[in-house]
Amino acid sequence: MNLLKYVNGMLINHQMMSVIRRTLHTSTIALLLVTVLLSGCSNSNLGTDSVNAQGAITEQANGSTTAQAAAPEPVSTDQPTNKEEAKTTSVASPLPLKEGKVVVHYIDVGQGASQLIIGPSGKTILIDAGNNDKEKVVTDYLKKQGVKKIDILLGTHPDADHTGGLDAVIRTFDIGKIYMPRVQANTKTFESVLTEIAKKGLKVSTAKAGLTLEWEPDVTIKMIAPIGTYPDANDMSAVIQLTYGTTSFLFTGDAEVESEKDMVQSQVNLNSDVLLVGHHGSKTSTSEAFLNRVNPTYAIIQSGKENKYGHPTNVVLDRLAKKGIKIYRNDEQGNIVFSSNGKEIIPSVTEWKPSTKSAVPVQPVSKPIEVSPSQATTEQKETVYYKNCAEAKAAGAAPLRKGDPGYRAALDRDNDGIACEK
C-alpha cells in the first residue's frame, strides 16, 4: 500500500483514516514529517503533536480545496495570514527599480529540475535540486555562484528528480525559509530530506496557491499552485511566478493538466515572459489553454539527454514552436541563464533549433490558436490499451508514465507511477 504518499494532500474517508492512523504510528517517515512540520510550533511531545497532525488531515478532508479558504495552518506558525499577504501584494510596487538584475539559472541536472534565482541585492531562491546523484552538481554550482545562504528553498513536490539533492543543499548552505506542498512520498530520498530539515531545526511552510513570498523589495513572488488537492503528486507541484519590473518568470514544477486547468480558471494573471515548461516537456503538461494564458516569449525545458521518458515530447515542442516561442533546453545546451533588468530579458545562449527534418518545424504564427480547455484535455485522453507490458514494449510506448496513454495501475506493479520500466 502506498497510501502514505498522499496523506498530506488527499481527500480521506473514514475507512482510510484508520489505515492512515496506523501508518502514521508505524512509519519512520510519518514521524519525521510530524517532527519537522511541528518543530517550530511547539515543544510538546510527539504523541500530542501526532493528534494535531491527524486533526489537520481531517480538516483538509472536510474542507477547503482552494487556498482562498482560511483553513488553520498546522504546518507553520509564522506563516503570514492571507490578509497580510494581500497587504504585501498591494504595497509591493515593482517600480522604480534599483540598479541590478534578477538572474535565473536553470541548472543542468540531467533528467530532473533545479533553478537558482539571485536577486538584485543578492538574495537567493533555490527551486528543487535534481536527483540524488546530481547533488554535487547542484552544490558545486551554487558555490561557484558565491551562494552562502538560500533565503527561500522550495521543493515543488516530493519526486526524486526534484528533491534528490535537497538534503545535500540543506547540509551545505544556510537555509532561510522552506516551502513544500502538503504531499509526501514514501521514499528514502524524501526521508533524508526530512531528516536534514529536522537536524537543522528548520520548519516547513505549506506551499499553496495564494501566498506572496517575501524576498527582495523590488521583486514580487506569487505562489499560484497548488490550488486544490490532487490524487497525482505532480499536480500538487508548487508553481511560482516572479515579477521584476515589467518582466516575469513562471516556474511550474511537474504540474500537469489538472492543475493547469485550475490555474487557467483562477483569476490569476499567468502571463509571463519566461516559462519553465511543466514536467520536463511531458505531454501531460503545457496544455494549449495554459500556454495561451501564459503566452511566453521564452520556454525552458529541463530534461536529460536520451532520457527514458521521451522528454521533451514532440507534442509539446510542436505546440511551443507553432506559437513562435523560443525554446531552450538543458539536454542540448547545458546550463541556461536568463537575466532581467526589469525591462528586458537577456538569455545567456541563443535559442535551440531542431537540427533534423523530422524534428519540429518553427512556424511562428501571428495569432495564438484558441483552444478551449476541454479540447486541450481531450487530446490528453487518447484511448490506448495495452494488454500487457510486452504489448506496450512492442508498440515502443514503454516505459509508461502515469498520465501517458495506455498507462494502467495493473501494469505498474511496483506502483511508482511508471509502468513497464523493465
> In the bound complex, what is the minimum distance in angstroms from residue 134's beta carbon to Zn ion?
12
Closest CB to Zn ion among 158 and 228? 158
The footprint of Zn ion (CB under 5 A) covers 161, 254
> In the bound complex, what is the minimum distance in angstroms from residue 278's beta carbon to Zn ion?
9
Indicate the residue type of 396: G
> In the bound complex, what is the minimum distance in angstroms from residue 254's beta carbon to Zn ion?
4
Using DSSP's 3-state secondary structure scheme, residue 320 falls into: helix
Residues 152/179, Cβ–Cβ less than 8 Å: yes
> In the bound complex, what is the minimum distance in angstroms from residue 111's beta carbon to Zn ion?
8
In sequence order, what are the residues at sequence separation of 6 or more whose Cβ sits closer than 8 angstroms to the Cβ of residue 420?
386, 389, 392, 393, 398, 399, 400, 411
Q: Rounded to 5 degrees, what are φ and ψ at 290?
A: -65, -45
Closest CB to Zn ion among 249 and 309? 309
Closest CB to Zn ion among 240 and 345? 240
What does the angle CA 139 – CA 143 – CA 149 come to, to the nearest 5 degrees?
90
Closest CB to Zn ion among 76 and 192? 192
> What are the grid coordinates assigned to 50, written together?
501526532
Indicate the residue type of 379: E
| Sheet of strand 212-213, all strands in order from the earlier edge strand to the far edge | 212-213, 219-225, 239-244, 247-251, 274-276, 298-301, 326-329
> What are the grid coordinates assigned to 221, written together?
513572488
Closest CB to Zn ion among 119 and 281? 281
> In the bound complex, what is the minimum distance in angstroms from residue 216's beta carbon to Zn ion?
27
| Sheet of strand 204-206, all strands in order from the earlier edge strand to the far edge | 204-206, 174-180, 149-154, 124-127, 115-118, 102-106, 336-340, 345-347
Closest CB to Zn ion among 49 and 254? 254
> In the bound complex, what is the minimum distance in angstroms from residue 110's beta carbon to Zn ion?
11
DSSP 207: P
CA distance 387 to 370: 36
Closest CB to Zn ion among 397 and 418? 418
> In the bound complex, what is the minimum distance in angstroms from residue 153's beta carbon to Zn ion?
17
